[in-house]
Amino acid sequence: MTKKQEPEKAPEVTEPIYLNDGLNLWETVSTPRHEHTKSFSRAGGFKGTSVNVTAMAMMATEVFGPNGIGWGVVIEDEQYIDGHKWLTDAGDIIGNDVVHVIRAHIWYTIEGEKYETSPQFGQTTFIGRNKYGPFTDEEAPKKSISDAQNKCLSLLGFASDIFLGKWDDSKYLAEVKKQQAGDDAAAEPENAPKFTRTNDGWHGPLNKTDLKASAQTLAVRLEQVLTEDDFKELANEYRPMVEQLQQDLPTWYFGDQNQPGMKQKIVDKKQQIQARAA
């Protein structure tokens, strides 16, 4: 009697690990808000698109949590390096450029685990010369940190559409704007203030001059607020203006490399009041 053969057991299959699994974070943060970007041109014909450093920080906060808790910048090294020498017509050295350079990395947390990016450099001319003569940029250290921060975040995919050149395609950019407008409309509460887009892209109801004046007034009144009740009352009074500021003057709302925007001023005042009450 022939022994019945058992069918061969199929080998256990291990779930394959696909290379693009590592792109989950990248694809989540690859497209910035279009209003947080701007075109620029430099000497020599170089053109490109830059993304607001505060907007990049906001994107990181949305993914990792507040700065200092879910992510942060670590400066590994900082130097002031001599650059191009300044010569007289006779060839005598009378000075030189000085460049501020930092090397830094970003740490961040995902599901309780802490990680770090590779280090990147940020640099800014601290002392230099332009068509008006010698200058000193006291904001150089801050600009260098912003530069390094954005470069480190770009390694994780933040605003990578810009760095990959997609932003240079007008059709792609138009599609991004359309998609973001649709997302905003779907997320907008029914009782949210409505703004009417004019032919020049302005939303209203305040014109540019009045909007700037109102924002400046709010900044002054924020400094005068001392209690939480006064803060809430001021926030309710200026909420429509602040919402318009975000749409029509995003740099005034989000700030830039040189100064904080209205959003940061409001957050700082709220934290001050909470700290005082604690």
Closest CA to 127 of 99, 147, 85: 99
List pLDDT tens digits, range 52-99: 888 899 999 988 999 999 999 999 999 999 999 999 888 899 999 999
Q: Determine the pLDDT at residue 13.
A: 41
40 Rama sector, left if φ>0, alpha if ψ -120 to 50, beta otherwise: beta
Q: Given this model, what pLDDT does residue 150 score?
A: 93
CATH topology for 23-170? Enolase-like; domain 1 (3.30.390)
Bridge-based pairing state of the strands 47-51 and 113-116: unpaired
Instruction: Name the 3-class secondary structure at 100.
Output: strand
Amino acid at 98: V
User: Would you tell me how many other CB atoms lie within 10 Å of the CB of residue 156?
Assistant: 20
pLDDT at 231: 84
CA–CA distance from 98 to each of 125, 128, 138, 173 (Å)?
A: 6, 7, 12, 38
Q: What is the pLDDT of residue 122?
A: 95
| pLDDT tens-place string over residues 13-60 | 434 333 346 788 888 888 888 788 887 776 666 677 888 888 899 999
Structure confidence by residue, pLDDT tens digits, 143-159: 999 999 999 999 999 99
Asked whether the predicted pLDDT for residue 198 surpasses 80, the reply is no
Residue range 228-245: mean pLDDT, rounded: 84
Q: What is the mean pLDDT of residues 116-127?
A: 96
16: preceding bond cis by omega (within 30 degrees): no
Residue 47 DSSP label: E
3 has pLDDT over 60: no
The contacts of residue 196 (CB under 8 Å, 6+ apart) are 203, 204, 205
Tokens matching residue 1:
């009697």
**How high is the pLDDT of residue 44?**
67
Mean pLDDT for all residues in the chain: 81
- The pLDDT of 94-123, averaged and rounded, is 94
Q: Which two structure tokens, joined as six digits, stand for 72?
A: 């942060």
d(CA 137, CA 207): 34
Q: What are the residue ranges spanned by the domains of the chain?
A: 23-170, 201-277
Secondary structure element (H or E) that encloses residue 74, with its range: strand 71-87
Looking at residue 208, its pLDDT comes to 81
- pLDDT-based confidence at residue 225 (cuts at 50, 70, 90): confident
What b-and-e string marks burial along 104-115, b requiring 16 or more CB atoms within 10 Å of the CB?
bbbebeeeeeee
- Tell me the whole-structure pTM to 2 decimals: 0.58
pLDDT of residue 184: 63
Q: Is the pLDDT of residue 121 over 90?
A: yes
According to the model, what pLDDT value does residue 20 have? 46
Give the whole-angstrom CA distance, residue 9 versus residue 83: 71
